[in-house]
Each structure stands twice: as C-alpha cells, then as structure tokens.
Structure 1
Amino acid sequence: MKKFWNWKKRVVNQENGQETEERILFMNGVIAEESWFDDDVTPALFKDELNAGTGDITLWINSPGGDCVAAAQIFNMLSEYPGKVTVKIDGLAASAASVIAMAGTEVWMSPVSMMMIHNPATIAWGDHTEMKKAMELLDAVKESIINAYVRKTGQSRAKLSHLMDAETWMDANKAVELGFADDILFQKEEQGDDSENGGSENNRTENGTGSSDSVMFSRRAVNNSLMNKLEKHYGKTGKSVKDQAGISAPKVNSVDTGRSADDLRERLNFIKKFI
C-alpha cells in the first residue's frame, strides 16, 4: 500500500507560556493511487491515525486529485473530527482534492496555488444498458460532490454544476471570491508590514485578499476560443460546391491556405490522446 498522507507533530509555545502540540497532516500526490474502493485496510488506517491524537489539525494539500470514493470518506472523517481543521493549499487542490479541502473549518490558499473543479469521470464497458448505468452513476457522484461545494461556498447548485462542466481552474483570489477558500496565506502579515511603513489598508479588498485581481480558467472556453480562431484564420470546410466547370470542390469560408480548421481539429484531437 502506498500512502498519500503523512503526519507530523510540532510543539507550539502559547502566549501564557504553556506548550501545546500541533498536529500537521500533509496530503501530497494522487489520492489513493493504488486502491481505496472495496479496501478495508487503507480507510481504516487513515481513520485510526486521525483519531490517534487530539487537538487542532493543519492540513497541507498539494494534490491533482484521484479517487472520489476516497475523497468522500476523508471528507466525512475530517468533518466529524472534534478539533478545528485548518486547510492550507500550498500548490494544487484539484478534482477530488478540492472536495477534501471543503472539510476544513477554514481554508487558506497560497497566493501562487490553484484549485480546480470538474465533472467526475469513469471507464465503462458493455452494452447500452451498462452505459446508461454508468451515466446515472456519474450524475449521482456529481450531485454528491456539489453537496460539499454548496456546504462551503453557499453558491447555487446550478452555478456550481456549470463550473464543473467547464472544468474550472481558480487562483487564490477567485477561490476566495467564490467561497471555496476563506483567505490567502501570508497576506495579512504583508498588509501589517505595509501599515507599519505608512501603507494604506485601502489596498485590501472587501474579501480581505489584498488584491482585486482574480483569475478563473475554463478548459472548455479556451478550447472553443482556439477553434473559433482556427476557423477564422484557416476557414471551415463545408458542403461541396461545383465551380463553373462543374467540378466539385469543398466550400471554404475564407482564403484557402492548404489546411482547413477541420483538419487541424482532427489533428489536435489525435494529439490529445497522447498528452
């Protein structure tokens, strides 16, 4: 079994002079890279380690995602944990990892981190009945994931569904703006230094991020934009038309450069299979 999590402990000196022990959980890499579904050992091990101590937990996440069943169970375990769970995303919280992040009492993102949400995916084989079952399963899984996002963000199910359909990437500012995160790491310290140096607190926005700039990236929007540009530049082949000599030729929307947008699209789709 390959663990995708690691525990560490750190002694913290409080203002009253007492020492407390902080529990730190690192979650890196693919979630349940080997197996979690129908696995009685791995979930039980994670739960035992989670409940082996007491006190607040700081969870650092840098993961591209993975098994949605594993993410759901970890989300439930962290949500039921009696102590405070502070999630800190220092690199990437994508796909299933973003679901785990929603279990945090507070969610903080590094200024250079990203969060990505998208629709669940699976592999299916069989006749049309089996394909229909797979589609129904994916719909159900998507609804369960939306439950976690609604709980944290307060956004409507329709909006969250649209963001998942588009495979949406968010920087820290956008994640805070949409409610996926509560604040940005290191930001308050920087603002405090600016104030001491005569800086203005007006530089901070209402959501406390210290910046009004935010970025949200949609794979679908980028793909559509690229295809529109290709069609505009190279032209799109259409139905065949006959010239004055009666010879059939493909209809092109713009100047014929030797390759149509359809040819390029087919080539790009072929290349994507190997990326």
Structure 2
Amino acid sequence: MKTKKFWNWRKVKNQEPEVTERILELSGTIAEESWFDDDVTPQLFKDELNAGSGDITVWINSPGGDCVAAAQIYNMLSNYKGKVTVKIDGIAASAASVIAMAGDTVLVSPVSMLIIHNPATIAWGDHAEMQKAIDMLAEVKESIINAYVLKTGLSRPKLSHLMDAETWMDANKAVELGFADEIMTRAKAEGPPEEESEEEESEMGGKKPPAQDSMLFSRKAVNNTLFNKMAAKYGQAEKKPDMQEQAQIPAPETETGRCVDALMERLALLRH
C-alpha cells in the first residue's frame, strides 16, 4: 500500500556559499489515516528528517488531522539537533497548531489563522465504552495543553478555556498570546533607516506606536451572544402554572344567586 504523504522536502541555496536551507512543507490533512497503529509512515518521516543536517524551516498550511501523528511529528522536530523555524503561511488548525509549537521560532503570515479546540472522536458501544472515550479525550486534551504551555507560558485553565471555546486567532492575537513569536514581513530594500520627525516623536512621547488591534473569535461565545439577543428580542414564553400553583390562585368572584332584599321585594309583589 502506497503511503499518502502530506509533507514535502525541498532544498534552497542561500546567498552564502555552500549553505543550503532545508525546507519542510506540511500541507493538507495531517495523516488521513491515523498513525496510532502505523509503524511505517512515522519511521519514513523520521528517516527523511534525519537524512540531512543543519537548520530547517517548516511551512505549515493545514486544517489539522490525526493527533497521534501530530504528537509524533512534534516530538521529532523538538528533538532535532538543528534550529527549527516554523512559518504559518495559511492556517494552522487543530493538530497542525500542535506541530507549530515545536518551532524554536514561530512566524505567522499577516493573513494567517491559528485555531485551537478540544480533541474529538467517534465512539460506539454501551455507557462504559462511552466513558472510556470521554476519559481518553480528556487525557489527549491534557497532552495538547502541555505543548501549548511550553510555548506560550499561559496557565492550563486559560488554555483549557480557549480550547473549549474553539478559538480562532489572527496573526496579532497569536503573537499576543505567545503562540507565535512575530509576524512575517516582506524584505525591504537596504537603505538608511527612516527617522521620525521631532513633531511625530513629541506626539508619541518618545514611545513606540501602539500595537495593531488583534482578533480572537470564539464560536461558542458567538452562539451564546446570539441566543441572548434572541431572548431579549422575543422574550421568554409565558410559564404556565403547575397544579400546586393553580390551587393557590383565588377563584374569580362571580354571582351565584340573588340577594335577600331583592327576593323579599319580589315576594311582597306576589302577595298583592
């Protein structure tokens, strides 16, 4: 059976003589077939990784995939002797975001996205089998958080909350939260550095300009906001009283007959 590769190696010669940069491209789904019981594909990836030496650059554009494969690739890149630079040029979602955390330096394109969320699976069986699946997912989540903690320095509860909310981060937010180190920029032509005028410097008070706005999107937060707006607009349905509440409701005052004076007047008329 032919292995379907989601990675590709390239070599690029740098300006310095006799210096070749190794480039690893990860694109598409990370392992369409799980590496859980696969010994061949992980070994193939490892052999190709260690076939050369020197620093490597990993370009990532992937929606994610198998968390087992992502964990093994993360470990292989972390243990690589050379420097590993990760560049996210499209999307690094789910399992792909875990691989990105293996970089000594993580760069993100200004238009790239990084997405983290809870692991998911499909299970079948009775309640005991369902509980096993729940426990397994909880452990997988903890292992993913380990990689995020080492890179970002954020607390485990904070990261767990971000995963629960299925968080989408733009480049600025990824850098702000520590998932990336800096944003990629185009190389500028060499020339004298631009100097700020005295007027601009006085307006800024000698400080650096403020950072650009960042974006963090949470699908769960959006859903909750939508539900709250709908509830505020249409209101809640009128609650019907239960049997106990109905028993406490006073009966309406209704006429059940005529008063005594009216009956006496009617009787007097009949006598005459």
Same fold (TM over 0.5): yes
Partners of 2:143 and 2:93 lie apart in 1 by 16
Aligned length: 234
| 2:6 aligned partner | 4
| 2:215 aligned partner | 215
Shift of 1:229: 1.6
Shift of 1:193: 8.0
Is 1:235 equivalent to 2:235 in the alignment? Answer: yes
In the TM superposition, what are the counterparts of 1:46-85 in structure 2 within 5 Å?
46-85=45-84
Deviations 1:108-143 (A, max 9, x none): 000110101111111111111111111110110000
| Equivalent position SS for 1:228 | helix
TM-score, L = length of structure 2: 0.80
| 2:255 aligned partner | none
Return 5+ residue gaps in structure 1 as ranges.
206-210, 243-275
TM-score, L = length of structure 1: 0.79
Q: Is the 8 A contact 2:115 2:167 kept in 1?
A: yes
Shift of 1:238: 5.0
Q: Is the 8 A contact 2:34 2:68 kept in 1?
A: no
Shift of 1:106: 0.2
| 2:89 aligned partner | 90
Deviations 1:234-253 (A, max 9, x none): 333353469xxxxxxxxxxx
Deviations 1:62-91 (A, max 9, x none): 111010000000000000000000000001
Q: Structure 1 residues 26-35 or 215-224, which shifts more?
A: 26-35
| Equivalent position SS for 1:32 | coil
Partners of 1:28 and 1:129 lie apart in 2 by 37
Partners of 1:41 and 1:236 lie apart in 2 by 58
Is 1:196 equivalent to 2:194 in the alignment? Answer: yes
| Equivalent position SS for 1:125 | coil
Partners of 1:66 and 1:108 lie apart in 2 by 21
Partners of 1:193 and 1:65 lie apart in 2 by 41
Shift of 1:233: 2.4
Higher-Rg structure is 2
Partners of 2:209 and 2:72 lie apart in 1 by 37
Return 5+ residue gaps in structure 2 as ranges.
243-272
Distance 1:85 1:126, change over 3 A: same
| 1:100 aligned partner | 99
Shift of 1:33: 1.1
| Equivalent position SS for 1:220 | helix
